[in-house]
Amino acid sequence: MKFAAVLGMAVAAVVGGSGIAAAQAPADLDTKKFNVIGTWNFLNMFKNVEAPFWNEQLGAASGGKLTGNIKSITELNLKGTEVLRLLKTGVYDVAHALPIYVDDGAAVFEASDLSGVATSITQQREILNAWLPEMQKTMRDRFGAQIVATFAFPQQVFYCRDEISSLADLKGKKVRVQGVSQSDLVKALGASSVTIPFGEVVPALEKGVVDCGITGTLPGYQAKWPEVVKTIVDVSLGYTAGFVAVNLNSWNKLSKPTQAFMTAQFKKFEDAAWASVESDTKAGIACNTGNAPCPVGPAAKLKLLTPSDADRAAIKKALNDAVLPEWAKRCGAECAAKWTETVGKRYGLVAKAN
């Protein structure tokens, strides 16, 4: 089945589900237009899941009583780190955000998306669900908001300006990362890390400010990274996790029936979002390399490096020797022990500072 068809089925399922909800929508729903900040408007997550949910599906499901006005961080010219501050102040009712956007309590959120831990989409969702209570505490206490759904972007991989034949070739190179744990991982591989906002990576690669960059398989293609790189490395560095959070002042003003209705709608959003990740991950490899039809545009011709056993072993060693111990230092002994108990033991991992 083609990637586009798989994604279409996922989105259709949500639309169909919303149609059922419309017929059963409570008569006593509030009338409310939510101000929403979303992710990047040129990526599939926004185009196929976020925007349709707020612009079409919610209104259809509620008989027009509940609607959304969603603006992407691209439209708003934001780097991302401003999102939760805007949510906290009530400028927006709802925010689609990433753990890497969190500044106050960052290490707690970082634990949901440590580089090199998740090797499958199923595993990434399990990790988010298991760690959600800890993130929820911080979200409520420090941002006056609550998480109502999770999502993720496609598998994170290396893109490099030059052709490389193994991860050993990263030694000495400058690598764009998006988060502290990715920085710990690339340093353990012998590279140096550089933090650059997503929208500024292409010129940085083009000018040689960085030699490689990490992002998702399809997001990299849609952001035109193939125009300035030659190699993509199909090794899973995890998935960029995300969450949808609602300002508690806005939420508490809603009636109980409206809160219950919105909770059900957010669950439908979440299921559609996760359904899109697997198809987008596979589509990204196809679009970057041309090894299969690209459903969203003309395929690029990047060299596809399939990691060797030695490459996979290097990632595992970096995870255990650097990523987990360094994160444990940032979060503290009690936090690290909690992560080991709730997440790590499922996958044979221990987070403990050296």
Q: Over pLDDT 90: what percentage of the chain?
A: 88
For residues 271 and 290, membership in a common domain is answered with no
- Mean pLDDT, the chain, rounded, equals 92
Q: What number of other Cβ atoms are within 10 A of residue 126's Cβ?
A: 15
Three-class SS state of 163:
coil
Q: What number of other Cβ atoms are within 10 A of residue 120's Cβ?
A: 13
Choice among 16-25, 145-154, 170-179 with the minimum mean pLDDT: 16-25
Give the C-alpha distances (Å, rounded to integers) separating 292 from 20, 139, 159, 247, 331: 36, 41, 19, 43, 42
pLDDT given for residue 26 in this prediction: 77
In a domain, 14, yes or no: yes
What CATH number did the domain enclosing 84 receive? 3.40.190.170
Return d(Cα 62, Cα 149) in angstroms, integer.
19
Per-residue model confidence as pLDDT tens digits over 302-314: 999 999 999 999 9
Pairing of strands 231-233, 145-160: antiparallel
Among 278, 304, 327, which residue terminates a domain?
Answer: 278
Per-residue model confidence as pLDDT tens digits over 271-285: 999 999 989 999 999
Per-residue model confidence as pLDDT tens digits over 202-255: 999 999 999 999 999 999 999 999 999 999 999 989 999 999 999 999 999 999
Is residue 12 a contact partner of residue 248, using CB atoms and an 8 Å limit? Answer: no
pLDDT given for residue 105 in this prediction: 87
Is residue 143 a contact partner of residue 89, using CB atoms and an 8 Å limit? Answer: no
- In this model, does residue 28 exceed pLDDT 60? yes
pLDDT given for residue 24 in this prediction: 63
Is residue 111 a contact partner of residue 131, using CB atoms and an 8 Å limit? Answer: yes
- In this model, does residue 5 exceed pLDDT 50? no
- Domain extent for 313: 157-237+286-347
pLDDT given for residue 16 in this prediction: 43
Q: Mean per-residue pLDDT for 118-144?
A: 96
Residue with the two structure tokens 């496609």? 154
For residues 224 and 322, membership in a common domain is answered with yes
Return d(Cα 126, Cα 103) in angstroms, integer.
24
Amino acid 278 reads: E
Return d(Cα 58, Cα 321) in angstroms, integer.
46
- In this model, does residue 10 exceed pLDDT 60? no
In a domain, 209, yes or no: yes
In a domain, 40, yes or no: yes
- In this model, does residue 171 exceed pLDDT 70? yes
For residues 330 and 220, membership in a common domain is answered with yes
For residues 65 and 32, membership in a common domain is answered with yes
For residues 93 and 217, membership in a common domain is answered with no
Q: Mean per-residue pLDDT for 80-87?
A: 94
For residues 30 and 164, membership in a common domain is answered with no
Q: Mean per-residue pLDDT for 149-171?
A: 97
Per-residue model confidence as pLDDT tens digits over 172-197: 999 999 899 999 999 999 999 999 99
Question: What would the two tokens of residue 107 be?
Answer: 């290490």
For residues 130 and 227, membership in a common domain is answered with no
For residues 24 and 75, membership in a common domain is answered with yes
In a domain, 112, yes or no: yes
pLDDT given for residue 6 in this prediction: 39
DSSP state of 224: T
Among 227, 261, 278, which residue terminates a domain?
Answer: 278
Please tell me the total count of domains within the chain. 2
Residue 293 has phi, psi (to 5 degrees) of -60, 140
In a domain, 199, yes or no: yes
Q: Mean per-residue pLDDT for 91-113?
A: 94
Is residue 188 a contact partner of residue 318, using CB atoms and an 8 Å limit? Answer: yes
In a domain, 353, yes or no: no
Angle 266-240-113 (CA atoms, 0-180°, nearest 5)? 95
pTM: 0.89
**Nearest to 114, CA basis, from 320, 332, 348, 337:** 320
For residues 87 and 190, membership in a common domain is answered with no
For residues 213 and 69, membership in a common domain is answered with no
Pairing of strands 32-38, 66-72: parallel
**Nearest to 158, CA basis, from 211, 212, 206:** 212
- In this model, does residue 156 exceed pLDDT 60? yes
For residues 193 and 315, membership in a common domain is answered with yes
pLDDT band at 14 (very low <50, low <70, confident <90, very high): very low
Return d(Cα 248, Cα 231) in angstroms, integer.
45
In a domain, 352, yes or no: no
In a domain, 187, yes or no: yes
Can you state the angle between helices 180-188 and 309-318, rounded to 10 degrees?
130
For residues 81 and 119, membership in a common domain is answered with yes
How big is the chain by its Cα radius of gyration, in Å? 20
Q: Which helix (H) or strand (E) holds 121?
A: helix 121-143
Residue 231 has phi, psi (to 5 degrees) of -130, 140
